[in-house]
Amino acid sequence: MSIKSAMSDFKRLKLNLVKPVPSDYEISRNQTPKHITEVAQESGILSNELEQYGSHKAKVKLDVLDRLHNVKNGKYILVTGITPTPLGEGKSTTTVGLAQAIGAQLGRKCFANVRQPSMGPTFGVKGGAAGGGFSQVIPMDEFNMHITGDIHAVGMANNLLAAALDTRIFHESTQSDKGLWKRLCPENKDGSRNIPIGLLPRMKKLGLDSKDPKEWTEEEIGKFVRLDVDPKTITWKRVLDLNDRSLRGVTINQAKTEKGLIRETGFDITVASEVMAILALSSSLKDMRERLGKMVVASSKAGEPITCEDLGCAGALTAIMKDAIKPNLMQTLEGTPVFVHAGPFANISIGASSVLADRIALKLAGTPAGLTPEQAKEQEGYVITEAGFDFTMGGERFLNIKCRSSGLAPDVIIIVATVRALKVHGGGADVKAGLPLPLEYTTENLEMLEKGCANLQKHIENARQYGVDVIVAINKMSNDTANEHAIIKKAALEAGAIDAIVSNHWEEGGQGALDLAHGVIKCANNEYPAQKTNPPQKFHYLYETEGLTIESKIEALASKMYGAGSVEFLPEAQAKIKEYTAQGFDNLPICIAKTQYSLSHDAKLKGVPKGFVFPIRDIKASIGAGYLYALAAEIQTIPGLATKCGFMNVEVNDDGEIEGLF
C-alpha cells in the first residue's frame, strides 16, 4: 500500500466544537474513537504487526522496521517550549493539535509521538499529558492511567535489580567464597558446575570463559562469586509511580534477619529510573538487553564499577521489558495516529518519547524509493515529537542525547510560547495552580510582555545553535489580545525565528492549528524567503563527547544554554567526577537535572538571568542509557504531593467510567 493510497482511506473524526470549552474528560468521552485496528490500517501498519490491548490501544511490533527499511523517512518535527509556569504552556496540546491539522485537516500522513504520562503528576497538581481541549489523545482516561502497563514493567525491572543488589550484599556478608561458589553454581553429578546463564557474561568479563570451571583457582573463584560491593557507593534506588515525599529518604534492612546491614537510601519516581531512559533510547530488543546489562549500580571496594550483568540480572530485566519495548498506538480526537511510548522524567532524564516510536513513525510517514522530488514532497508525511519542559531541558537533551543515540535530526524545531508565561518572565506575579490568575494575566500589559519576551528570544538563540530552523507557536488563550501576539511575533523574528504563528487548537482542534501546519510544512521544505537567502547550517551537537572532560561539558551547557557565569562543583560532585573518569565514563554526554521554572538552577530567577554561579551537588552514572546526569542545587528525584491534589476529584461512576481527571 502506497503512502498516498493509505491516506485516501483515512476517515476524519468530526469535532463538535463547543464554547465555552468543556473539561478534557467530557470532550474525550463525547467523541467516539475509531477501533484501533482501523487506525493501524490507515497508518500503513499490517494486522500481523499489531497486538491489541482492547478496542482503542495496541502495541506495534518492531517487525515494521524490517519491512520498511528501504523507505525514506518522513519529516521530523520537534516541539519544545519556553520556560513554563506550573500550569504548563501547552506543548502536548500543540503537538496533538498540529498533528490533527496536518493529518485530519490537510490529509497528509502525520503521527504525534508523545511520552506515556506518570500517574504521579496525573494524581498531583500538573495533571496528565494527553493534551487538552479539542486537541488531545483519546481515550484520555486510558492514556493517563496504565495504558498497556509499560511503566509498571519499568518499575518491576528496576526493583528486581535493587532487590538483587541488596540480597547479594547480604549473602556475601554471611558466606565464604567456597560457600558462595557452592550455592551460586552447584555441582552436578558429573562434577561440572551448574552456572546460571545470567552469570555467563561475568565469566567472560573476567576472562574465565576459556577454562573449565573445574580448573579455576581459588582466587579466580573468589573474583567470580564475590562482588565486594562498597555500600557507600550504591546509586541504585527503588522506584514507584507516585509522588510520595515520605520516601525521599528511607532506612532499609532494619529487620533482625538482615544481620545489621542497615543503610540509608531513598526512592525515585519510576519515570526517573535508568530503565525508563533505556526504554526510550534503545534501538532494538538486543540493544535494550545490552544496555540493561551495562547499568552501573555501585562500585566495589577496589573501585571497580558493578553492573546489572555482574549480578546476573540483565536477562530477567529484559524478560520483564520484552513487551514494553513495543510502542503503543492510540489516536487523537480527530482520528489521526499517535505513538505513546516511554516516559523519562523531564527534570532528571531526557524527557522524550522513544527512539523506536520515532523510527517506526518516520518510516510509516516516509516515501518509497524511486519517486521524483516533486512526488516525494507530495507524498511525504510528518512526525511531530515532543520534548519535556523547556528547550534548555527537554529540547537540549533531545538533540545532544536522543539524536546522538538515534542518528536522527529534526527538520524543524517548534518553540511553544504563551502570553501568560512571558508576562511571568516580564515581572508578573507568580502563577499558582488552583488559584485565580492575577490581574496582569487577564488584561493587556504590553510593557510587561515585551520585557518577558527576552526569555523566548534566549530559547530561540539556544535552539539555533544546533543548526535547525525555529518556528514559534503562540498558544492562544482566551485573554490574549492581537497587540500581545504582535509583540511576541516581532521579538521572535528579531531573535532569528523563521516565523511566529498564533494557534488556537485548544479551542478549535486541528482547524485552529491550520496556519501553524502550513508554516511547519513550508519551513520543513525550506520555502520561507529567509531560508532561501540564509539557509540553515547542517545539524550539529552543542559539544563533542570525546576529548572533553566531564567538567567542560557541564560548563558548556551551563554557559551556552543557561547563561551561567561559572559552575561550582560541590565536594560530592568532585568525588564522582574523579571516580567516573577513572572508570572510563568521562566520554559520555551529560544530562543536567534542574528546575523547569528558570533558565538557571533557581526557580525564583525569571526572565534571562546571567552571570550566576551554577551549583552541581552530585553526579550519577546512567551507563546503560549512555549518559551521566548531574544534579543542580536541590532538585528532587521524586516529587511530593500538594495540599490540594488532582486525585481528590477522581471518581468512577456507575457505568465504570472514570470522571474528574481534568
- pLDDT interval class at 7 (50, 70, 90): low
CA distance 376 to 132: 33
What is the arithmetic mean of pLDDT over 24-38?
Answer: 94
Contacts 24+ apart (CB under 8 A), 312-317: 312/164, 312/196, 312/198, 312/199, 312/202, 313/160, 313/161, 313/164, 313/198, 314/198, 314/201, 314/289, 315/197, 315/198, 315/289, 316/160, 316/198, 317/157, 317/160, 317/161, 317/275, 317/292
* The pLDDT of residue 87: 87
| CATH architecture of residue range(s) 24-148+324-531 | 3-Layer(aba) Sandwich (3.40)
CA distance 203 to 210: 9
Burial of 82 from C-beta contacts in 10 A (0-12 / 13-18 / 19+): buried
Complete DSSP assignment for 288-314: HHHHHHH-EEEEBTTS-EEETTTTT-H
What residue segments make up the domains of the chain, in order of their start?
24-148+324-531, 151-318, 550-631
CA distance 348 to 539: 25
Mean pLDDT computed over every residue of the chain: 93
CA distance 601 to 604: 9
Which superfamily does CATH assign the domain made up of 550-631 to?
Answer: Formyltetrahydrofolate synthetase, domain 3 (3.10.410.10)
CB 93 within 8 A of CB 114: no
Buried b (16+ CB within 10 A) or exposed e, 608-620: bbeebebbbbbbb
Task: Please write down the HEC assignment for all residues of 144-186.
Answer: HCCCCCHHHHHHHHHHHHHHHHHHHHHHHHHCCHHHHHHHHCC
Q: Domain 151-318: which CATH class?
A: alpha beta
- pLDDT interval class at 2 (50, 70, 90): very low
Task: Please write down the HEC assignment for all residues of 557-592.
Answer: HHHHHHCCCEEEECHHHHHHHHHHHHCCCCCCCEEE
Question: Which residues have CB under 8 Å from 20's CB, separation 6+?
Answer: none
Task: Please write down the HEC assignment for all residues of 379-406.
Answer: HCCEEEEEECCCHHHHHHHHHHHHHHHH
* The pLDDT of residue 656: 79
Phi/psi for 177 (5° steps) reads -60, -40
The region of weakest confidence among 29-38, 148-157, 339-348 is 339-348
pLDDT tens digits, one per residue of 171-186: 999 999 999 999 999 9
CA distance 586 to 578: 9
* The pLDDT of residue 658: 78
The pLDDT of residue 49 is above 70: yes
CB 122 within 8 A of CB 661: yes
What region does 358 belong to: left with phi over 0, alpha with psi -120 to 50, or beta? alpha
Percent of the chain, pLDDT > 90?
84
pLDDT tens digits, one per residue of 209-238: 999 999 999 999 999 999 999 999 999 999
Residues facing residue 486 across a β-bridge: none
Note the helical H segments in 1-90. Answer: 3-8, 24-30, 36-43, 63-67
Residues facing residue 385 across a β-bridge: 78, 113
Burial of 432 from C-beta contacts in 10 A (0-12 / 13-18 / 19+): middle
CA distance 100 to 104: 5
What is the arithmetic mean of pLDDT over 618-642?
Answer: 89
Q: Kindly provide the residue ranges of all beta strands, DSSP E only, lying in 594-652, ordered along the sequence.
A: 613-622, 627-632, 651-652
What is the arithmetic mean of pLDDT over 371-378?
Answer: 90
- pLDDT interval class at 125 (50, 70, 90): low
The pLDDT of residue 30 is above 80: yes
* The pLDDT of residue 662: 64
Closest CA to 638 of 241, 297, 298: 241
pLDDT tens digits, one per residue of 249-303: 999 999 999 999 999 999 999 999 999 999 999 999 999 999 999 999 999 999 9
pLDDT tens digits, one per residue of 495-519: 999 999 999 999 999 999 999 999 9
610-to-364, 449, 455, 600, 634 alpha-carbon distances in Å: 44, 20, 12, 9, 20
* The pLDDT of residue 639: 79
- Helix axes of 446-464 and 482-494: crossing angle, nearest 10 degrees: 30
pLDDT tens digits, one per residue of 134-170: 999 999 989 988 899 999 999 999 999 999 999 999 9
Residue 414 vs residue 370, higher pLDDT: 414
* The pLDDT of residue 123: 77
CA distance 522 to 382: 12
pLDDT tens digits, one per residue of 532-547: 888 778 999 999 999 9
Complete DSSP assignment for 50-75: EEESSSS-EEE-THHHHHTTTSBP-E
pLDDT tens digits, one per residue of 603-617: 999 999 999 999 999
* The pLDDT of residue 428: 94
- pLDDT interval class at 1 (50, 70, 90): very low
Helix (H) or strand (E) holding 503: strand 499-503
User: Pairing state of beta strands 613-622 and 627-632?
Assistant: antiparallel
The pLDDT of residue 571 is above 80: yes
- What percent of the chain is helix, strand and coil (3-state, nearest 5)? 40, 15, 40
CB 220 within 8 A of CB 206: yes
498-to-94, 101, 463 alpha-carbon distances in Å: 18, 20, 12
Grid cell locating 302: 577496589
